[in-house]
Amino acid sequence: MVYVYKKNEKESADGLIKRFTRRVQQSGELMQVRRGRFSQKPKTRSERRKDAVYRSTISKKIDRLKKIGHFDDQALKELKKKMRQDQ
């Protein structure tokens, strides 16, 4: 909602700002904006499925690397990089 306020004849600029601020706070819109500031939309079904497939694939490859004794942080980074390139 757009608020338009005009300065009264004998009103100072500070008074105008104070009046505007008070009205905005009383309207409750400022609180709604602050609440929604960090909220995220829920993931769609296809995004959840895609993430689940990615996690399962990564975990299988990590298990394989652990079994053969080649798993470390560098191997994990390379594995994730390769997975991103394949997508």
Could you read off the pLDDT of 21-61 as tens digits, one per residue?
898 888 888 888 888 888 888 999 999 999 999 999 989 98
Query: What's the domain count of the chain?
Result: 2
pTM of the shown model? 0.52
Same domain, 31 and 51: no
CA dist., res. 51 & res. 57, Å (int): 10
**Mean pLDDT across the chain:** 88
Are 31 and 49 found together in one domain? no
Range of the domain at 66: 45-86
- Predicted confidence at residue 83, as pLDDT, reads 82
**pLDDT at residue 87 above 80?**
no
Please check whether residues 53 and 71 belong to one and the same domain.
yes
Distance, first Cα to last Cα, the chain: 42
Same domain, 51 and 70: yes
